[in-house]
Amino acid sequence: MITTRLVLLSWTATVLLVQSVASQTTVGWMAGAIAVSTTVDPIPEGGRLTEWRVVQPIVGGHGGFLDGRIWWKAMLNFEGVTIPSGELTPGGFGEGFVDRRHPHTYAHEVMVGTTAEWDGGTWVAGLAAGKGFPAFGSDDPMGRDPVRFPVNHHWAQVLERLVILGQLRYRQAVIEGSLFNGDEPESPADGPGLDRFGDSWSLRLSLFPIDGVEFQASGARILAPEHPEGDGHYQEMVSVGGRLERLIGGRPSYLMAEWARTSEADGAFTFYSFLGESATHLGRHRLYYRFERTDRPEEERLSAFRTPRPPVDDHLIGTTRWTIHTLGNRFAAWRHQNTVVEPFVEGSLIHVGKIGEGVFSTRDYYSRDRIWSLSWGVRIGIGMMGHRMGRYGSLTRSAGSVPEEHIHD
């Protein structure tokens, strides 16, 4: 009899708990892809190349329960299927690719976390873990306006790591720290190196003085990202930046600027980057512009678009500086609830020059030091409004955005 009563009480308590959790549960999902034609002239080893690709094909979700005290965030990325050989991107590099952007891993972001607040929300603490973005730098470029990824992708963000991240927020300031594995993925199906977890760390301070305005300063120390076994040098990374997203002159507008520095081998090699972006709505058009000046390490090449992975004896054959102006327009051709279809056109004018010592010659690889690229196609997004990858916990509350009713007026 006692056992029966205990079972009934346990069952009743479980049902009440599930009902309580379900009543406080929120779930959202998103999906998107970009069909794009890109022409680049010249490509490595000379000549012109045009490619059609489907890039950034993603499916994701996010949710929380217990009034948001426990949350989750996930995104699957299928570029391993659509662009296994990478996306044509002059200046791009990393993970064995050069002048192509590498495909991201299938499990791009899978994070769970918890938050707690006290003193009426003046203080907020959070803890998150999973595969995702350590606390460093700016948002993943996938969530920004230009289709073309910036050259500084590996200087201004750290992504796709096994990470534990802690946050502490006081009023409009958030400090974050994270521990993670230093190695970058070797393929779209590659998982984080469990044996290397904790060999790298990062810190970030974010300030939100008024709604829609934020500043960040970050530092990171990452062990041998290009060496899976960790047999390489540390990267010392610094990033500072600011972002504005609000109505300017009655028009939804966006401004962002960031500066980054990465040094390797105790300062033997140092690379700098500055990037600025802006965008504004003109009716159903969204015009955007990006300026970037980024240093890139040059390594021996296996072919026009690939380098050895891991690098051979950390041998750099020079450094190039990429100065890029990118201008584009997205047109909201069709929009219904949270779904939007946007044809776009985007062009870049690029100057590449050698800096410092080294045997690398831009003219030997590209035939000239000025490159142009032109992309056009269509974006399709469902539930993507305001999504910023790498912002977790209290940062998702702080990130200002233009109210949706003002978009595409």
| The pLDDT of residue 382 is above 70 | yes
| C-alpha closest to that of 254 among 216, 290, 206, 298 | 290
Mean pLDDT for 111-128 is 91
User: Which CATH number characterizes residue 294's domain?
Assistant: 2.40.160.10
Residue 137 Ramachandran class (φ > 0 left, ψ -120 to 50 alpha, else beta)? left
Q: Is residue 21 part of a domain?
A: no
Residue 393: pLDDT band with limits 50, 70, 90: confident
Helix and strand counts by DSSP (H, E) for the chain: 5, 19
| The pLDDT of residue 46 is above 70 | yes
- For 210-254, how does the pLDDT look when each residue is reduced to its tens digit (9 = 90+)? 999 999 999 999 999 988 888 888 999 999 999 999 998 889 999
Residue 69: pLDDT band with limits 50, 70, 90: confident
| C-alpha closest to that of 290 among 360, 359, 248, 347 | 347
% of the chain exceeding 70 in pLDDT: 89
Cα–Cα distance measured from residue 159 to residue 149, given in angstroms and rounded to the nearest whole number: 14
| C-alpha closest to that of 343 among 16, 36, 10 | 36
Maximum CA extent, the chain: 88
SS3 357: coil
What integer pLDDT is reported at residue 110 of this predicted model?
Answer: 94
Q: Is residue 155 part of a domain?
A: yes
Where is mean pLDDT largest: 21-25, 70-74, 118-122, 325-329? Answer: 325-329
What integer pLDDT is reported at residue 313 of this predicted model?
Answer: 57
How many domains, in total, are found in the chain?
A: 1
Residue 319: pLDDT band with limits 50, 70, 90: very high
What integer pLDDT is reported at residue 340 of this predicted model?
Answer: 94
| Strands of 249-338, DSSP E | 251-264, 269-282, 285-299, 316-331, 334-336
What integer pLDDT is reported at residue 314 of this predicted model?
Answer: 59
Cα–Cα distance measured from residue 221 to residue 202, given in angstroms and rounded to the nearest whole number: 6
Take residue 122 and report the two structure tokens written for it. Answer: 């003046």
For the chain, the helix, strand and coil percentages under 3-state DSSP, each to the nearest 5: 15, 55, 35
Residue 266: pLDDT band with limits 50, 70, 90: confident
Q: Is residue 8 part of a domain?
A: no
Residue 3: pLDDT band with limits 50, 70, 90: very low
Mean pLDDT for 272-290 is 97
Q: Is residue 9 part of a domain?
A: no
**Mean pLDDT computed over every residue of the chain:** 88
What integer pLDDT is reported at residue 276 of this predicted model?
Answer: 98
Cα–Cα distance measured from residue 273 to residue 151, given in angstroms and rounded to the nearest whole number: 9
Mean pLDDT for 346-368 is 91
Q: Is residue 178 part of a domain?
A: yes
Range of the domain at 186: 29-406
Mean pLDDT for 142-162 is 95
Residue 406: pLDDT band with limits 50, 70, 90: very low
Q: Is residue 12 part of a domain?
A: no
Q: Is residue 259 part of a domain?
A: yes
Cα–Cα distance measured from residue 266 to residue 72, given in angstroms and rounded to the nearest whole number: 38
C-alpha distances (whole Å) from 44 to each of 235, 298, 341 are 27, 13, 33
Angle at the Cα of 131 (from 130 to 134), degrees rounded to 5? 95
| The pLDDT of residue 342 is above 90 | yes
What integer pLDDT is reported at residue 385 of this predicted model?
Answer: 64
What integer pLDDT is reported at residue 408 of this predicted model?
Answer: 43
Q: Kindly tell me the sign of the dihedral angle through the C-alpha atoms of 41, 79, 380, 213.
A: negative
Take residue 148 and report the two structure tokens written for it. Answer: 């073309």
Cα–Cα distance measured from residue 95 to residue 311, given in angstroms and rounded to the nearest whole number: 10
Take residue 57 and report the two structure tokens written for it. Answer: 């094909």
What integer pLDDT is reported at residue 386 of this predicted model?
Answer: 61
Cα–Cα distance measured from residue 380 to residue 228, given in angstroms and rounded to the nearest whole number: 35
| The pLDDT of residue 160 is above 70 | yes
List the alpha helices (DSSP H) in 94-221.
153-156
| The pLDDT of residue 295 is above 90 | yes
Q: Is residue 2 part of a domain?
A: no
Burial of residue 7, with CB atoms counted within 10 A of its CB: 0-12 exposed, 13-18 middle, 19 or more buried: exposed
| The pLDDT of residue 9 is above 50 | no
Cα–Cα distance measured from residue 365 to residue 169, given in angstroms and rounded to the nearest whole number: 49
Q: Residues of 254-285 as b/e, b for ≥16 C-beta within 10 angstroms?
A: bbbbbbbebbbeeeebebbbebbbbbbbeeee
8 A C-beta contact, residue 269 and residue 232: no
* Token pair 């890109």 in the structure block, residue: 38
The better pLDDT of the pair 145, 395 is held by 145
| First-residue to last-residue Cα distance in the chain | 67
Mean pLDDT for 252-265 is 95
